[in-house]
Amino acid sequence: MSTPIPEQYHGVWARTLLHTPDTHDTTTWVRWLQTGLWHGDLRVPADVDRRTPEGRAQQQGFGGTTAITRPDPLMPEVCTWQRTVDFQPPRSTPDAGFMTFETPERVVETGVHGTYLEVWERLPGSVGQRIALAALDAAGQPTAERLLVSGQYLMHLRPRSAPWPTGTAPDDTLADVVQRHPDQADALLDFEIALGAWREGVWTVERATLPALERHAHTCTLQRTGPTDATVTCSHLPGHWRVLEWHAPG
């Protein structure tokens, strides 16, 4: 297992700015949820029609573990998001950024392998409890499906079961792949990342890669049943999970 990351990174972070040589974006809805080791990320453009496959393919999202390093003592820390699941096709370069905290609630990320700047603001109520669970299959083995909690926020990540079509290359976009394989669009887009507030046992989905899930409230309880096991009672989610991380003060 990787080393747990510093507490200053824990929480749910909203991106307020993306600046690149070609882009100045303040409208895309972006959230990064970070536990002590695991992360989930969801990015929903404001100007696409998500009623169409082409529009949904413009979304981004991923999840996995996170590593913080400082290869050069004269440079900022490097945050690397090691993606276990990804809504988009694989990248040719690691997802890593130099991280500079301007305040405890605001961090500026600049590219290690690309030219960009992102500003992140931590959401109120997003620190405290930290939970990461992996869904179990019929044989009781962990799958790539994840449930992440940070403070009063919950994120569910269920990857697609369909493989990438033959010929999919690193740095292809999902929109490219869907355009080349329209007969496989439904299977390629069947990938759920959903995030919302989780308060007093009710999870209200704010944004999701599957738009039909948005604005719905679900009674949702998580119970640890042993050192490595937990049960979840929540809408369409599986019931049995493996505990990857469980920090619930109080």
In tens, the pLDDT along 19-70 reads 999 999 999 999 999 999 999 999 999 999 999 999 999 999 999 999 999 9
- Position 141, amino acid: Q
Name the E strands within the chain: 11-19, 24-25, 29-34, 38-44, 60-69, 77-86, 96-103, 106-111, 117-122, 130-136, 142-150, 153-158, 192-199, 202-208, 217-224, 229-234, 240-247
What topology is assigned to 7-122 in CATH?
A: Lipocalin (2.40.128)
> Which tens digits make up the pLDDT trace of 94-115?
999 999 999 999 999 999 999 9
Q: What percent of the chain has pLDDT over 90?
A: 96
Q: Which single residue is written with the structure tokens 């929903």?
A: 44
Mean pLDDT of the chain: 96
Q: Residue 125 is which amino acid?
A: G
What are 92's two structure tokens? Answer: 């040719």
SS3 at position 187:
helix
At residue 1, the pLDDT reads 54
Q: Quote the tokens at residue 10.
A: 């824990």
DSSP state for residue 9 in the 8-state scheme = G
For the chain, the distance separating the N- and C-terminal CA atoms, rounded to the nearest angstrom, is 26
The pTM (predicted TM-score) of the whole model is: 0.97
CA atoms of 193 and 39, how far apart (whole Å): 12
- For residues 224 and 197, what is the distance between their CA atoms, to the nearest angstrom? 20
Question: Per residue in 232-246, pLDDT tens?
Answer: 999 999 999 999 999
Q: How far, in Å, CA of 64 to CA of 22, rounded?
A: 28
Write down the pLDDT at residue 249.
84
Q: Is the model's pLDDT at 219 over the cut of 70?
A: yes
- Please give the C-alpha separations between residue 11 and each of 6, 39, 119, 125, 153, in angstroms, as whole numbers: 11, 10, 15, 8, 9
Phi, then psi, of 142 in degrees rounded to 5: -65, 140
Strands 240-247 and 229-234, sheet pairing:
antiparallel
Q: Is the pLDDT of residue 2 over 90?
A: no
Domain ranges of the chain: 7-122, 130-247
> Which backbone phi and psi does 103 adopt, to 5 degrees?
-145, 170
Any residues with CB less than 8 A from the CB of 245 and at least 6 apart, and which? Answer: 35, 36, 37, 38, 130, 131, 132
